[in-house]
Structure 1
Amino acid sequence: MDIGGPGLRVARAALFAVVCVLASLAMHLLAGGSPVHLPLIGAATVSTGCVAFALARRRLSGAALLGFCFLFQYGMHHLFALGAVTPPADHHTGGAAATLGMAVAHGVVAVLSAAWLSRGESALAELLHLLVARLLVLLRPRVPAVGPVVFRRAAEAVPDGRFLTSVLRRRGPPVQPAR
């Protein structure tokens, strides 16, 4: 089974984009960010899905995945901050309250996303291979047995008290004299 086929890549990229953007949004809100307009969440999901689809064509190193995930989290933070539904009480900071908690929140999501991409792809491939192998076993045509299968035990040898059952005898002098 080709885990890198376009159909499966679209499904994987879409699932990754939805989960990644929702996790990023949740952590953004938990870290003190303002609520975000729905079209911006959709734009973040579509852009993440498109890049995930493009990057899923070949296997990337862990460092490259982590770099891409940090880059996207940085972009999502700024996108969420620009399109935030800011209540009037928050205007006194000018929207520039980038705290350590916000950086940690997006950093955690970036690390988790990179870990999912690096290990989750292998796990998905292995799971699909096992599923296909199991389905092939189940779909294999069964050949009925000709008759009842009877397993018989081999007759056990009864020891007769002799230790040597065969002896090789060679009488005569050696072929070459010893020196």
Structure 2
Amino acid sequence: MLARPPLRLLRATAFAVVCAGLSALAHIAGGGSFSAPHLAGGVVLAFCAAVPLTGRERTLAAILPVLGGLQVVLHFMLGGAAAHVAHAAHHHAAGGIPGLGMTAAHAWAAALTALWLARGERALWSLLRRLAVRLRVLVAVHAWAPADLPQVPCRAPEPATLRALVLCRHSVTRRGPPFVRVNLSRPHPA
């Protein structure tokens, strides 16, 4: 099953906001700071990276490397060149290379985001597959239902499932002895 453009854009937007948001939180937790324009650029970058991947269901193994790479890029984007010089002491390295705390914060953000998005992917695609099957059944039953069969009202006030509703709606009761018409107006020959 492939995703249509509206769903793809929605999924890419969710991915970008979650990825950049958790990256910003991890950046602050690791002792860094960032500017709003850099965060906005990070959201756009994450969105652009996500759009080509939203055509079908993705697993944790596919999501985690993309998030890991984005965390590295977002680290440098969120800090900006001037901010890297200002908080180089937090990194314990020259040139803005992240230190252990910052690396741990970004790794935590990438792992948490990947796990969360993979579970969301599994739930979303499971729901879409179930809806597709249900819609096909409804269309097929409605299109091929014979019009000349009598409709028997459903005995249950509320069917428990969609399948029960479809089956009950189109059921024909044929239990009991065969139907025999008896003409009472003529006398029976003796």
| Structure 2 length-normalised TM | 0.59
Shift of 1:74: 0.5
Aligned counterparts of 1:40 and 1:120: Cα–Cα separation in 2? 27
Shift of 1:128: 3.6
Which of 57, 65, 68 is matched with 1:67 structurally? 65
Shift of 1:95: 7.5
Shift of 1:131: 5.5
Structure with higher helix content: 2
Where does structure 1 lack aligned partners over 5 or more consecutive residues?
Answer: 155-179
| Structure 1 length-normalised TM | 0.63
* 1:90-169 pair list within 5 angstroms: 90=87, 96=96, 98-130=98-130, 133=134
Return the index of the structure with the highest Cα Rg: 1
Shift of 1:73: 0.3
Q: Deviations over 1:4-54 (max 9, x none)?
A: 2121011011011011111110111011112x2212111110110111111
- Aligned-pair RMSD on alpha carbons? 3.9
Where 2:98 maps in the other structure, the secondary structure is: coil
Residues 109 and 148 of structure 1: is their aligned pair in 2 closer, same or farther, counting only changes over 3 Å?
Answer: closer
Aligned counterparts of 2:82 and 2:21: Cα–Cα separation in 1? 15
Cα contact 1:81–1:95 (8 A) shared by 2: no
Cα contact 2:12–2:50 (8 A) shared by 1: yes
Residues 111 and 85 of structure 1: is their aligned pair in 2 closer, same or farther, counting only changes over 3 Å?
Answer: same
Residues 148 and 5 of structure 1: is their aligned pair in 2 closer, same or farther, counting only changes over 3 Å?
Answer: closer
Q: Deviations over 1:93-131 (max 9, x none)?
A: 777473211101100111122223433212112234446
Q: Deviations over 1:114-162 (max 9, x none)?
A: 223433212112234446649x87xx98xx965796xxxx9xxxxxxxx
Residues 131 and 99 of structure 1: is their aligned pair in 2 closer, same or farther, counting only changes over 3 Å?
Answer: same
Cα contact 1:32–1:102 (8 A) shared by 2: yes
Residue identity matched to 1:26: L
Residues 147 and 83 of structure 1: is their aligned pair in 2 closer, same or farther, counting only changes over 3 Å?
Answer: same
Cα contact 1:3–1:125 (8 A) shared by 2: no
Aligned counterparts of 1:15 and 1:61: Cα–Cα separation in 2? 16
Report sequence identity in percent: 34
Greater shift after overlay, 119-128 or 66-75? 119-128
Aligned counterparts of 1:26 and 1:121: Cα–Cα separation in 2? 23
Cα contact 2:88–2:96 (8 A) shared by 1: no
Where 1:71 maps in the other structure, the secondary structure is: helix
Aligned counterparts of 2:154 and 2:9: Cα–Cα separation in 1? 51
Cα contact 1:4–1:57 (8 A) shared by 2: yes
Residue identity matched to 2:39: I
Where 1:8 maps in the other structure, the secondary structure is: helix
Where 1:39 maps in the other structure, the secondary structure is: helix
Given the alignment of the two structures, is residue 12 of structure 1 paired with residue 42 of structure 2, yes or no?
A: no
